[in-house]
Homo-oligomer: A and B are copies of this chain.
Amino acid sequence: MNAAFRTTAEDPLSAARTGLLETPHGVVETPAFMPVGSQGSVKGLTHDQVEGLGAQILLVNSYHLFLRPGVEDVAAMGGLHAFISWPKPILTDSGGFQIYSLSPLVRVQEDGVQFASHLDGTKYFLRPEDVVDLQVRLGTDILMCLDHFPPYPYSDETLRESVRLTTAWARRARARFAEYDTGQQLWGICQGGVHRDLRTRSIEDLLAEDFAGYAYGGLGLGEPKTQLFETLDLGNGLLPSDRPRYLMGMGYVEDIVEAVARGVDLFDCVLPTRNARNGTLFTGRGRVAIKNRKYARDERPLDEDCSCYTCRRFTRAYLRHLFERGEITAAVLNTIHNLHFYLDIFRKIRHSIQSNSFNLLKKSLISNASQKEEAT
């Protein structure tokens, strides 16, 4: 399909690799973390701040844009990059996840999915072709196929039907996308939960379509971690090494490093940004619930080892005060820190793979992440 991805280093002890992912709006160093800009902004931050933190690619939710302001308005402004004034790569999801999780009324049919807007109840019907069309019109760099997944726990039968539908829709999306010549990339999403045979079938079905990249869907829904990792091992054995792999929506650091060790290149999650707004802050020594009264006179930075603006300039006492007062700036400063924390981990992951020390970093990150609350 295209040679937009190439591996630049491989870890000798695992399937971890670094790579360069080329897109019409620039190159992304992988493994990469995509901050979530649901509606076209990373909540609380300016694009300058997001870029300054080192983000190389943004995820924007098709579902939200589709409802408001609508694809027509975005297209009229010259596409999503121009509309939001973000010059770097953008990946849009298919909208499927939001449809299944946010819409109050979902009806999955062979031809596509009917759903009601969670905002005003307006009914929509989207076929896999529509989902390609709308992302092409948005002009984003990486487009995702419309997939289907059942809620966890699921029966084998439900899962089988979900895989069948996902494959059928992926073929139709692939065929529609072939009608365009835009330089964009369409990626397939495999399903099958943690069921070996079904996940295998889903991946093989997608491979036949030769997508530019492959995403794992339907994981991180509550299945045991061992089964999750086995599924990634399975995928690692099946997916071609010259295509990027994306684990959708999973954001715990301990899961991210296990996934990187299994050859995953791309991640997104609302965890750092949403937790920031809720006052849960990540540090190298565990999590800090910044509202805690014990920080009222704490002169230390949030994380003494962190080089972000928030940690360089402000005390825990001030961050607690702003959060407790409900100040907007609390969301801003907390988001700067949490996003820096994540993007910095990805810088370290890439560096460790290139310097043959990924295994060491992985152990250290998993050990840190196991401290649910900061050790004092």
Instruction: Give the interface of A toward B (CB within 8 A).
Output: 39-48, 64, 68-69, 73, 76-78, 83-85, 277, 296-297, 299, 309, 313-315, 317-318, 321-322, 324-325, 327-333, 336
3 closest A-B pairs (Cβ-Cβ)? A41-B329, A44-B328, A39-B325
Do A40 and B77 have beta carbons less than 8 Å apart? Answer: no
Give the number of times this chain occurs in the complex, counting copies: 2
Do B47 and A321 have beta carbons less than 8 Å apart? Answer: no
Do A68 and B324 have beta carbons less than 8 Å apart? Answer: yes
Contact status of A313 and B85, CB under 8 A, knowing A43-B329, A77-B299, A296-B73: yes
A48 and B83 CA atoms in complex are apart in Å by 27
Across the interface, which residues of B come within 8 angstroms of A332, CB to CB? 44-46, 328, 332
Do A318 and B39 have beta carbons less than 8 Å apart? Answer: no
Q: A39-B325, A42-B329 are in contact. List 19 more A-B contacts (CB 8 A).
A: A40-B322, A41-B330, A43-B327, A44-B328, A44-B332, A48-B309, A69-B296, A73-B321, A76-B297, A77-B299, A77-B315, A77-B317, A77-B318, A78-B299, A83-B318, A85-B315, A85-B318, A328-B332, A332-B332
A158 and B315 CA atoms in complex are apart in Å by 46
Across the interface, which residues of B come within 8 angstroms of A68, CB to CB? 321, 324-325
Do B321 and A40 have beta carbons less than 8 Å apart? Answer: yes
How far, in Å, is A327 (CB) from chain B's closest CB? Answer: 5
Do B48 and A327 have beta carbons less than 8 Å apart? Answer: no
A325 and B69 CA atoms in complex are apart in Å by 9
A332 and B332 CA atoms in complex are apart in Å by 9
How far, in Å, is A233 (CB) from chain B's closest CB? Answer: 39
How far, in Å, is A291 (CB) from chain B's closest CB? Answer: 12
Task: Return the contact of A314 from the options B85, B277, B309, B315 (Cβ within 8 A).
Answer: B85
Contact status of A329 and B45, CB under 8 A, knowing A39-B321, A321-B39: yes
Contact status of A43 and B313, CB under 8 A, knowing A73-B296, A296-B69, A318-B84: no
* Sampled A-B contacts (13; CB under 8 Å): A39-B325, A41-B327, A41-B330, A43-B327, A45-B332, A47-B313, A69-B324, A77-B315, A83-B321, A84-B318, A85-B313, A328-B328, A328-B331
A143 and B297 CA atoms in complex are apart in Å by 24
Q: Closest B residue to A321 by CB, please name it.
A: B69
How far, in Å, is A319 (CB) from chain B's closest CB? Answer: 10
Across the interface, which residues of B come within 8 angstroms of A333, CB to CB? 46
Contact status of A46 and B329, CB under 8 A, knowing A77-B315, A83-B318, A318-B40: yes
Task: Return the contact of A73 from the options B78, B297, B327, B330 (Cβ within 8 A).
Answer: B297
A332 and B98 CA atoms in complex are apart in Å by 26
How far, in Å, is A169 (CB) from chain B's closest CB? Answer: 28
A46 and B64 CA atoms in complex are apart in Å by 28
How far, in Å, is A328 (CB) from chain B's closest CB? Answer: 4
Contact status of A77 and B41, CB under 8 A, knowing A325-B68, A329-B46: no
Across the interface, which residues of B come within 8 angstroms of A64, CB to CB? 325
Across the interface, which residues of B come within 8 angstroms of A76, CB to CB? 297
Q: Closest B residue to A64 by CB, please name it.
A: B325
A332 and B314 CA atoms in complex are apart in Å by 19
